[in-house]
Amino acid sequence: MNVSDTVSVTRESIPTQTSAVDATARDRTAAAGSELTRVLRLATDHLLALQDGTGWWKFDLETNTSMDAEDLLLREYLGIRTAEVTAASARFIRSRQSDDGSWPQYFGGPGELSTTVESYIALRLAGDDASAPHMLSAATWVRDHGGVPATRVFTRIWLALFGWWRWEDLPVLPPEIMLLPRRAPLNIYSFGSWARQTLVSLTVVSALRPVRPAPFDLDELYPDGPASAGSSAGPGGGGSGAGASGVLERISTRFTAKELFLGIDRLLHAYHRRPVRSMRNHALRAAERWIIARQEADGCFGGIQPPAVYSIIALRLLGYELDHPVLKAALRALDDYSVTLPDGSRMVEASQSPVWDTALAVNALADAGATAAIAPDHPALVRAADWLLGQEVRHRRGDWAVNHPDVPASGWAFEFENDTYPDTDDTAEVLLALRRVRHPARDELDAAERRAVAWLFGLQSSDGGWGAYDADNTSTIPYQIPFADFGALTDPPSADVTAHVVELLAEAGLGGDDRTRRGVDWLLDHQEADGSWFGRWGVNYVYGTGSVMPALRAAGVEPSHPAMRAGADWLLTHQNADGGWGEDLRSYTDPGWSGRGESTASQTAWAMLALLTVGDQPEVSGALARGARWLADHQRPDGSWDEDQFTGTGFPGDFYINYHGYRLLWPIMALGRYLRG
């Protein structure tokens, strides 16, 4: 039974001031229901038309232009950049420049320095003249915001590859980290999966420090000219100038974790000049073996762009030729991660989300149900279930097994191919989807569920919550290292992931299991003081609250529970005057933006999914009716919705995602449950 089946809300009508419902009101209610049914069917028809013949759905995954700029920088470094690819990528980068000359991290956001520097360099590679108006405004903006010396470490690594920055003025990331035992602080498994896969390849780059002659200078991006390079390099900057005695004196007078690691970094700079050669070589080979072992069947590494590009550079430095099968496959994967847009421009995806998209699509169509003439055995659902069954990770024990050697393999990853890193969030959503399909091989689906539920329980953290890829990946030490300026480095439990797992376990009849109850307790303990829940992988408190409330209701938490009432009150308070809901990405760094922002289709749907769990109070019914009306009024002729806003999250405060499927999938879910009553 779906969680929305457990509530009885009068969802078609706007509350009146009296209990009497006259004929006019009944007619108005019937008309509203007929209009929303039309909206839902148009949306489901559009979704069905987008399914691949083999059963999957995949929507574009848009991030920021750093992905596109770094793709061109990689091709320049390898000597494989072509005029065609460069022109198409440059067209996309130009289209995302703001009026002030900068490039943002997300639609409508403020300019971001590192993204702007990388995008500017990419356009210089494409032949844009530094004196062109759009380039002059970009360079002025960069200088006004600190210039190259104020960029993040990763940006300065790219600059160092071309001699625009000195390797000596970057933090050291020694490959000897590969030799640390599993339980040692700062061993590679103390980092989250995405950071681990990136950092291992960067240890090779940091040790070998290549420089390819730059095709032009970047003097215009330094506030005080190129001589300022290294003068304000941020963490780790100027690291080669201090001796061990000075380091120890500094640590003794101000013994903080950050100072300690800055001191260690200075010692590592000294070690880099005279490493223990046998140990350094052993560490480099260990890193090489580790990288190669994690290449996926499609050639990618980690299923995301940063590990892929740095792994390619690392292996090239270790002697792999471009025609080596490993690098050929990796470069082919990068090509597969590019999307040609209708205007001929080329957008590079940071990752691809077919498993996630397909699971959400199945759940959306199942929620639409009979209202949209979608039966549980609809051919589209059966094809999707077949494809999802084939994506279960059954025969490869990924990094999760390092700390859980006795847990049998299972789970689903986010991408087409990423068997090293199945994640709990995708796994829960896939299982929820498979439960809703009337499949001729039901035994196979049930067997997959048993395997995956055992895997999910094995990945539960000791506090009762679930992270995405690992259990108890909560160390704070990684955030102290000088490299730690690029977002989330660990994978602690989050409300949205824990909620999806709890919802699945409850739907699977395991709501009374002690492990599930610990997950419920975790969710109740992590409610914010204002009644909302934080959204780790979606923006933000609207997503967290929209994930948690359906899970709590599925797990038997009554609508009258104080946590449910508080969550509903928060959503009611934050509904926009136009009837929708929205939340600006600035809520991750400024609490004043919590629940505030321009209405979007996906966030309106999340709020509705939450409110549908709390009963038929007049204020809830009215809010739901206004939300449904907003969706109806803003639907496109093709059945989808416009949504330029980024409502997905990679790293809170640092990296955001526009899932192009969210504008369609979540509204179908919300309207389907709303109309089902």
CB-CB contact of 588 with 542 (8 Å): no
CB-CB contact of 164 with 273 (8 Å): no
**Count of alpha carbons within 13 angstroms of residue 152, beta-carbon side:** 15
Strands 648-651 and 655-659: antiparallel
Give me the helices (H) in 177-243, please.
193-208
Residue 659's DSSP bridge partners are 61
User: Catalytic: 425?
Assistant: yes
Which CA distances in Å does 506 have to 7, 265, 429? Answer: 16, 48, 13
Burial of 483 (0-12, 13-18, 19+ CB in 10 A): buried
**Count of alpha carbons within 13 angstroms of residue 379, beta-carbon side:** 6
**Count of alpha carbons within 13 angstroms of residue 141, beta-carbon side:** 24
Which CA distances in Å does 495 have to 269, 364, 518, 571? Answer: 40, 21, 13, 17
The residue whose two tokens read 């995708």 is 426
Q: Which position among 169, 425, 472, 485 bears the catalytic label?
A: 425
Terminal C-alpha separation, the chain: 14
CB-CB contact of 346 with 89 (8 Å): yes
- DSSP string computed for 633-669: HTB-TTS-B---S--EEEETTTEEEEETTHHHHHHHH
Q: Which two tokens stand for residue 255?
A: 């013994």
Residues 6+ apart with CB under 8 A from 157: 170, 202, 205
At 105 the three-state DSSP class reads coil
Which is it for the CA torsion 132, 134, 139, 141, positive or negative? positive
| Helix and strand element counts for the chain (H, E) | 23, 5
Q: Which two tokens stand for residue 118?
A: 């990388």
The helix or strand, by DSSP H or E, that contains position 64, with its residue range, turns out to be none
Spatial separation of the C-alpha atoms in residues 31 and 370, rounded to whole Å? 18
Angle between helices 379-390 and 442-458 (to 10 degrees): 50
Spatial separation of the C-alpha atoms in residues 24 and 22, rounded to whole Å? 5
Burial of 464 (0-12, 13-18, 19+ CB in 10 A): buried
Report the catalytic residues: 425
